[in-house]
A and B are shown apart, each in its own frame.
Chain A
Amino acid sequence: MLIYILRRLLYVIPIALGVTVVCFSLVYIGPGDPLSSILPEDAPQEVIDRIKAEYGLDKPLPVQYAVWLGKALIGDFGTSIVTGRPVLVELGPSLVNSLILAIGGAMLGFIVGVVLGGLAGYYHGRPADRMFTALAITGVSVPHYWLAIVLVIIFSVELAVLPSLGMTASGSTEFTFSAENFQHLVLPVIALSVIPAGIVTRTVRGAVAELLNMEFVEALRSKGLSEAKVIKHVTKNAAPQVLAVMGLQLGYLLGGSILIETVFAWPGTGLLLNNAIFSRDIPVLQGTILALALIFVALNLTVDIVQATLDPRIKR
């Protein structure tokens, strides 16, 4: 097992390096100079040169990359062009806020997906199966940002029972657990959960239907085990696959919540990215994407290791 983990870790290092290269290149694929957004157009050449030297932009690209990577490794992502604060200071609270949403959405999606998928797989080919499968397809096809707007229209505009904007009742950007703040969570979490719910439903349905067809299930039944015991066996066998899908979905939610955060004005990484894009605040853009991608890589690694622990056949 230890060897497997070490091998996976070794495999992750080049990928993580590749991720940093992509994030670093983001500055250079854009139009114009990275400095054009902070310098006035009529700035004299000597000022441009001085600022370039200050930011290290006068050096060749590989050197710039090495310097940037070295700083990023010790947590220094530079300073925001707009606020002048270190990127890490901007990033930390946003990341926590996004995590609250992502974990909520993943949990709800997981519960709904396991229940619907389990029933669909158990009643394979019957009306219940068809209904839940149709629901799952709807879940993965619905544009979640639109669903968010529809939810706001129903619950905030028409029924006026839930808040439509912000993360907390007081307007603070720090989440504390209270009944009032919980209300702010409901709509974004539901909107975020539909895609994972649909995907988990499909996965669970496929796994359960396949397992129920296997000989060992027939053997268990002919041995006289109760249906509940049989289901327990099936659950154990389906778990690794389902957990793997779920882990990936959590990562997608963390990166993909930008649209939902925009709808609900949720002060997370999505809002941070959105502001960074429109003010062309490249250090914040780079830092946020790098952090999210590295979390995604780490999550993938964790999923692989957990999966291998649960199902030893995987580590060849």
Chain B
Amino acid sequence: MTTTATPVDDRTEAPAFVAARRGYWGSVFTRLSHDPITIVCAVIVMIILLAAVFAPWIAPHDPYKTSMLKRLAPIGTDGFLLGTDELGRDMLTRLIYGGRVSLFTAIAPVFTALVVGGTLGIIAGFVGGRVNMIIMRTTDVFYAFPSILLAIAISGALGGGILNAVLSLTLIFVPPICRVAETVTTQVRNLDFVAAARATPAGTFRILRVHVLGNVLGPVLIYASSLVSVSIIIASGLSFLGLGVTPPEADWGLMLNTLRQSIYVAPVNAALPGVMIFVTGMCFNLMSDGLRTAMDVKL
């Protein structure tokens, strides 16, 4: 491999460099495949995600069909693998369907915040000066609120509903992502190779895309992935308070709330939705840790 020494600057270069270009991501992938914890977590998350997507085909019952006779059936009841809830609806079905809203309200805000916060952070770091000051001082204000409090306050003022929950969560994730992106961009901007790129005919946009984005994306992605587990806990917390989805929609946080009245009758059923939040959040957390180690990113 003599080509590895060649500086692979332009990522759209001829396919002769395929082996060299796959070097970094190839090694990341190799390291990930030797990390059993990350693989197990990824499999669990995939199962939950696929189950949620294909819920109408997988779920054994109708998620909204109530039955007064079969209320709070214990786990293992015939036909109801995980029992039934306080209105006699099948728990397994509702947990599968609940993944739809719960995962959406957990992932959508992080993704939106990644785009918005990442862009703002790169602009602040790359342009610097007054623009930097305005953007960063504004994020400082949002740092003055404990994140759960801000999410509750905003969705409380906006009123319930999935979109309002997503909006309020997005708002609390933009500042921290923006801060990480700004820090890394500022570091990269002052490096020699950016100065060298400026000396070439490369335009600002090209420098941003190739040199800045190429270096900033990794750390920011890792950081954002670590926020997903926070997001799932806060998002479910909002529905737990009654600020997320409205009944009879299935959602883990909301199920946890409505089953809370039944803890004396069916304690195991009442605890089940929380297990889903816990397992999913934990898997995202461990996956993010594994990815961070594999990509060798320090934050």
What is the interface of chain A, defined by CB distance below 8 A to chain B?
14-16, 18-19, 21-22, 26-27, 29-31, 137-138, 140-147, 149-150, 152-153, 157-158, 251-252, 254-256, 258-259, 262-263, 273-274, 276-278, 282, 285, 289, 292-293, 296-297, 300
Contact = CB atoms under 8 A, between A and B. Distances in A.
B263 A274 contact: no
Contacts of B286: 137
Contacts of A140: 229, 285
Contacts of B142: 22
A27 B156 CA distance: 10
A254 B148 CA distance: 10
8 contacts: A15-B144, A141-B229, A143-B274, A146-B278, A153-B263, A274-B241, A277-B241, A285-B153
A258 B159 contact: no
A259 B237 contact: yes
Interface stretch (B25-33, B65-73, B124-132, B133-141): B133-141
Interface of B is mostly: helix
B38 to A, nearest CB: 13
Given A19-B144, A141-B281, A256-B146, A29 B158 contact: yes
B35 to A, nearest CB: 14
Contacts of A300: 144
A253 B278 CA distance: 19
B138 A18 contact: yes
Contact of A26 (B140, B157, B237, B264): B157
Interface residues of B, number: 43
Contacts of A255: 145-146, 148-149
A149 to B, nearest CB: 6
A30 B158 contact: yes
Contacts of A296: 144-146
Contacts of B141: 15, 18-19, 21-22
B159 A146 contact: no
B52 interface: no
B281 A152 contact: no
Nearest to B230: A140
Contact of A143 (B140, B157, B237): B237
B152 interface: yes
A38 to B, nearest CB: 16
B146 A292 contact: yes
Contact of B157 (A27, A252, A254, A262): A27
A26 B154 contact: yes
Contacts of B270: 149, 153
Given A18-B138, A258-B241, A296-B146, A157 B264 contact: yes
A18 B140 CA distance: 9
Contacts of A282: 157
Contacts of A145: 237, 240, 256, 274
Contacts of B237: 143, 145, 259
B260 interface: yes
Contact of B263 (A18, A157, A256): A157
Given A19-B141, A152-B263, A30 B271 contact: no
A269 to B, nearest CB: 9
A259 B148 contact: yes
Contacts of A252: 146-148
Contacts of B240: 145, 259, 262
B144 A18 contact: yes
Contacts of B137: 14, 18
A251 B263 contact: no
Contacts of B138: 18
A285 B153 CA distance: 8
Contacts of B156: 273, 276-277, 285
A157 B270 CA distance: 12
A18 B256 CA distance: 36
B103 interface: no
Contacts of A276: 156
Given A258-B241, A292-B146, A293-B149, A15 B271 contact: no
A2 to B, nearest CB: 24
B12 to A, nearest CB: 40
Contacts of A297: 144
Contacts of B271: 146, 149-150, 153
Interface string B151-166: 0111011110000000
Contact of A29 (B154, B242, B256, B275): B154
Given A158-B267, A289-B153, 16 more contacts: A14-B137, A19-B144, A137-B289, A143-B236, A147-B274, A149-B271, A150-B271, A157-B264, A255-B145, A256-B148, A259-B148, A259-B240, A259-B241, A277-B152, A277-B157, A300-B144
Nearest to A278: B242
A293 to B, nearest CB: 5
Nearest to A32: B159
A285 B277 CA distance: 28
A31 B237 CA distance: 22
A14 B136 CA distance: 13
A143 B278 contact: yes
